[in-house]
Structure 1
């Protein structure tokens, strides 16, 4: 083997950081040391991995290929080291969890004090993304995803499903009236998603169709933004129970069309790579969520 793991780490860190200066700071090395390590790696491989300009670093085609393999190698080494250190009786170490903002805010964050009390040796790192993240690229151990999963090499565990409802605030309904039929929605202000487009089809019959395509007056990428808009009285929205059930119970939001709403449930899955080192931490985290979270 020509290359060392230190050189692989320097290469990946330079790309992820965007500059040698930022990489040097992250690795606690000198800029010249990082530059030499990268040059040494390219010399060993007899190819240029990075195009250097005064303003930026760009990967060559060979660099793109090598980066993907380097990430896998570093992840495997981290996994091997963690496997040796893991104590099954007391799960410990870092667990990096990613979820869409609404799920993180309503179903994860409120329970983390209790989780840390039960598993004090697990260090949590929580992140929120509205898009589907690449677990290896973003260095995420476990992602919680809402909706139907796409084909994937990831291991998945279904945590449950959450009923979709159509809701509005009492203030909006007092000002604009309550729509009595699906067709009447076209006369109201509707709140929709920027993407994906299928989220702007609501579970109401529209003639022969089993869903009603809406034309939103305002759109947002996050379900939590839609919720806040609905709470503020902007209009009518379609959201899952896991983020609005408490609002409905408290009277902050009103559920519409309950008698004619078609049954639609959003699956909630946890996805992760199979890993001996992570198995204990992932398992206890998922068991804890399944015990605590109401979908």
Structure 2
């Protein structure tokens, strides 16, 4: 019988101490755990001391304000995360049996994916299931992948960049990258181009296809990490931007932005939901994904 099992048996009515610990580790901050759980900093510290006293081991090692785990702490963290996931899954399944989803759902995505795909489903889920607590965290793909691996979020939403082999995943939708301008009837190369990074797979794909067909590579004026920011720059100035079409679809429909003529086949993107391999999703996470996919199917 492992440490987490012993602890849960002795203290099964108080799973909060384990959650405080997990949140502190996932965010590498006692203060952040206190904020997430709406308790004081001393309450988190006391909970950690209680855990250590019950288990009779040191879980953390604080050096120069750095929050580090001991080897025993690493073991307890992994077991505690697994147990809390099971606990939330049981809670959600029981409430779902009563036709109401509850519990906690932690999501991670970029701001553009949240605005286009995730946000509307969050509002719908909260409206239908008011007892469900949803927390969304923003970040670029690398940050979201890391948060999923650390179990700081249950589900991450990213554009597939060929770095998802370590994750369980589900396709949400496909689409094309486009070059856009604030003026109609323009060709690629008439203006400088803004991209995220020159070494990103979609940018390399565009430049390679242009070179293979004998076209000159457009001048990259600026690299911006955010597609939403690229959109704003294009709206504000004489510049072209290279973004996934979902970022500018509403602007294209309204005639605010226009597709630039690109003489090569578009690079296709895939929006995917990712979670840890060999880790079962809670009922609330499954319901959320089903709703999101259902919503996308309805728009096709």
Instruction: Return the TM-score normalized by structure 2.
Output: 0.73
Structure-2 residue corresponding to 1:261: 264
Unaligned regions of 5+ residues in structure 1, if any? Answer: none
Structure-1 residue corresponding to 2:211: 207
1:160 to 163, 173, 191: 173
Structure 1 residue 151 and structure 2 residue 157: aligned? Answer: no
Report if aligned partners of 1:168, 1:231 keep a CA contact under 8 Å in 2.
Answer: yes
Note the 1:22-171 alignment, pairs <5 A: 23=33, 26=37, 28=39, 31=42, 34-35=44-45, 37-42=47-52, 47-53=57-63, 55-87=65-97, 89-109=99-119, 123-131=133-141, 132-133=144-145, 134-135=147-148, 137=150, 139-148=152-161, 150-154=164-168, 156-170=169-183
2:192 to 181, 189, 203: 189
CA distance in 2, matches of 1:195, 1:70: 41
Unaligned regions of 5+ residues in structure 2, if any? Answer: 9-14
Report if aligned partners of 1:220, 1:226 keep a CA contact under 8 Å in 2.
Answer: yes
State the Cα deviation string for residues 210-233 of structure 1 (Å, max 9, x = none). 998665321111211111111112
Structure-2 residue corresponding to 1:217: 221
**How many residues get paired?**
281
Structure-2 residue corresponding to 1:240: 244
Q: Report the Cα offset of residue 253 of structure 1.
A: 1.8
Q: Report the Cα offset of residue 66 of structure 1.
A: 3.4
Corresponding residue SS for 2:212: coil
Q: Larger helix proportion, structure 1 or 2?
A: 2
CA distance in 1, matches of 2:119, 2:34: 33
Q: Report the Cα offset of residue 70 of structure 1.
A: 2.4
Q: Report the Cα offset of residue 143 of structure 1.
A: 2.6
State the Cα deviation string for residues 189-244 of structure 1 (Å, max 9, x = none). 22011476323325363333799866532111121111111111252121122122
Q: Report the Cα offset of residue 161 of structure 1.
A: 0.7
CA distance in 2, matches of 1:18, 1:58: 8
1:212–1:76: structure 2 CA closer, same or farther, 3 Å change rule? farther
Instruction: Return the TM-score normalized by structure 1.
Output: 0.74
CA distance in 1, matches of 2:50, 2:70: 16
Q: Report the Cα offset of residue 52 of structure 1.
A: 2.5
RMSD: 3.7
Structure (1 or 2) with the larger CA radius of gyration: 1
